[in-house]
Structure 1
Amino acid sequence: MLRRRRTVDPLEALSNGERGVLALMADGLSNSAIARRLHCSPKTVEKRTASMSRELRLPLTESEGRTDVNLRALAVLTFLRSAGFE
């Protein structure tokens, strides 16, 4: 069975900084490791992660459909799907 690719890439809504954080998340780096790699503060990584979550429309709270799902995992899955890994 063939799958149809998305016509809109959800990562297009992200800034370059947010995409950089997401790519490093997909590589398995922690927030502190991402901050060191990008030469920024851990707080900057947290802000970019929160912004990225809003842009990707990931559920942030239980009332939005998130229960025990890891936000980081959802973001990385979105990244991988966008890159063609399904």
Structure 2
Amino acid sequence: MGRLVDWAAETLATTVEIVRKPAGQVGFVVLPKRWVIERRIAWLTAHRRLARDYEPDPAVSEVLVGWAAINTMTRRLDRGRPATRQSRRTFSTSG
């Protein structure tokens, strides 16, 4: 086991599952559970302060991730319905 897997088991009492690419895979294939993590990272990086690593102190970054998660959940609860994608705007070029 790697150091992350050992640390998670000892410190957090949780299991980390590492999903690897199948041998002989050619082209794109959706890996199980990986999209969940990638989607979560996309939600977090939608917040301006988390788009880049500006913070020298990891504790500040940790707090900002917490705030971003709270903000995302608050917006979802306030909306009260499933998310919908905005319609694409088109601009008239006649002038």
TM-score, length-scaled by structure 1: 0.33
TM-score, length-scaled by structure 2: 0.31
Greater C-alpha radius of gyration: 2
The structure where helix makes up a greater share of residues is: 1
